[in-house]
Amino acid sequence: MEKILVVDDEPSLRDVLGIMLKKAGYTTTLAADGEEAVSQVNKEIYDLVITDLKMPGVGGMEVLKAVKSASPDTVVLVVTAFGSPDTAVEAMKLGAYDYLTKPFQVDEVQLIIRNALEKRRLSAENMLLKREMASHSSLSSIIGQSEAMQQVFDVIRKVADTRSNVLICGESGTGKELVARAIHYNSARSQMPFVAVNCSAMPETLLESELFGHMKGSFTGAMANKAGLFEIANGGTIFLDEIGDMTMATQVKLLRVIQEREFRRVGGTQDVKVDVRIVAATNRDLERAVAEGGFREDLYYRLDVIPIRLPPLRLRTGDIPLLVQHFLERFSKESGKPSPAITPEAVQALVSHEFRGNVRELENLIERAVAFSTGGAITADDVRAWLHKPAAAQAYPTDLPPEGLDLEGLICKIEKDLLMKALERSGWVKKKAARLLQLNTRSFRYRLEKYAIKGGRD
């Protein structure tokens, strides 16, 4: 339900608008002057603000500036009895959606509000769609005919339309996010947002702000009110990847969201209610983490309502030929090349290999094969050459020197070097570089920002 703030020093008009908006189903707040309105927008995020222009003290232009400073996505309608082209132009330059002159028809205002809110919704959906286009998946796009994968498909079909939380467990690279997306897109929530976040890719304070949002001034750098990912996912699904790496403090806040279906933004004083399905994933043994005190037992049982265990690729080798063909066609299409043939001996070499990086490792290998393809068939010798690359020279000490060492600095150096090597090998295409390091896009971008690595393209 959209939240609207009405600001007008004329009680009769303010009350008329308030009654009209409440009847239309909006959550409505009334402010008698500009000062009260500024206070409200600094405490709460509104979908739309209707403000009078001429008011004692703080006027409508100041309210407009305050709204856009605190929450740039909020729609603002400016209303006045003293209209002029100059003030209209100024209001629009400051970010107003429309400019109304008194007296006006209630039907006219209702239509403008509906159009403004619809435009806001479409803008938010477009942003989400852009994030999803590269990785949008459905049940049919998960490749596998093995018995183990058929059991996974069966669980997805049975639980997709429930409200129950899901916990997906499996080694890195087994396709946990693909399963999460399949659950979402096969559910009644499929037309609502799917929002993914990697809990291990951000420090605790940043993760809390990302999940729950924050209020302007709540911490250094909080220049405006910001809605969190739980708000963005309202009505849909939020995918919490690497949930096992979430700190105990954030676990407490997540437990409250699950139990109460509400939370508070960082620095906020008001509860925000949401209807979000949680799908979590981990490559850790959460039962052991609970026993060792590293994960809350109550949260574990709240998440593990529907458990899905993804098999590693070595336990479903019969799916490897299908996956190989799928990746050959996909990367050939992306690169504009004809799909190369692959000999039966090459496929058998892949089937015999123990893919410790699971499907992601196989995916990276086939992408490399397509990149180096010159039109001939991929042979077993090609595969063996790629599978048995010579070990790189050690870039770090294998023993602890007598004088000690800077562990944190060394780890940062190794990580930065590998980021640069991945970017260079991928031709500075960030998406491909992330795949080489078996990272998702969010994790990869976070590390680039951490080391101030600039350049490249998506």
CATH at residue 187: 3.40.50.300
pLDDT attached to residue 134: 38
What share of the chain in percent tops pLDDT 70?
93
320 plus 369 within the same structural domain: yes
Domain boundary among 311, 337, 353: 311
Same domain, 116 and 28: yes
Q: Into how many domains does the chain fold?
A: 4
User: Residues 345, 246: one domain?
Assistant: no
Angle between helices 344-352 and 380-387 (to 10 degrees): 30
Same domain, yes or no, for 242 and 285?
yes
Are 184 and 304 members of one domain? yes
Same domain, 175 and 192: yes
Output the average pLDDT for the chain. 86
The predicted structure's pLDDT at residue 327:
93
The tokens of 140 are what?
Answer: 């049919």
Q: Positive or negative, the Cα torsion across 182, 185, 187, 189?
A: positive
Rounded mean pLDDT of 221-230? 85
In 10 A of CB 173, how many CB atoms?
A: 21
Q: Is 95 exposed, middle or buried (0-12, 13-18, 19+ CB in 10 A)?
A: middle
The answer to which of 32-41, 67-76, 250-259, 403-412 has the lowest mean pLDDT is 403-412
Buried b (16+ CB within 10 A) or exposed e, 105-140: eeeebeebbeebbeebeeeeeeebeebbeeeebebe
**Domain end among 269, 288, 311:** 311
Is the model's pLDDT at 257 over the cut of 90?
Answer: yes
Looking at the structure, do residues 254 and 191 belong to the same domain, yes or no?
yes
* Per-residue pLDDT at 396 exceeds 70: no
Higher pLDDT, 237 or 206: 237
Range with the poorest average pLDDT among 69-78, 84-93, 320-329: 84-93
Tokens standing for 59?
């006027």
Global pTM value: 0.65
Q: Which pLDDT tens digit goes with each residue over 304-332?
A: 999 999 999 999 999 999 999 999 999 99
Query: Binning pLDDT at 50, 70 and 90, where does residue 392 land?
Result: very low
Mean pLDDT of 168-191: 91
Residues 142 and 277 in one domain: yes
Interior angle at CA 40, CA 39 and CA 42, nearest 5: 70
Residue 141 has pLDDT above 80, yes or no: no
pLDDT at 183: 93
Tell me the angle at which helices 380-387 and 358-372 cross, rounded to the nearest 10 degrees: 120
Distance CA 180, CA 170 (A): 13
The range of the structural domain enclosing residue 13 comes to: 3-130
- Domain final residue pick, 342, 357, 387: 387
pLDDT of 294 higher than 60? yes
Average pLDDT over residues 207-215: 90
Residue with tokens 């105990």: 248
Per mean pLDDT, which range of 177-181, 217-221, 446-450 is the poorest? Answer: 217-221
SS (H, E, C) 185-244: HCCCCCCCCEEEEECCCCCHHHHHHHHHCECCCCCCCCCCCECCHHHHCCCCEEEEECHH
Give the Cβ contact number of residue 141 at 10 Å.
12
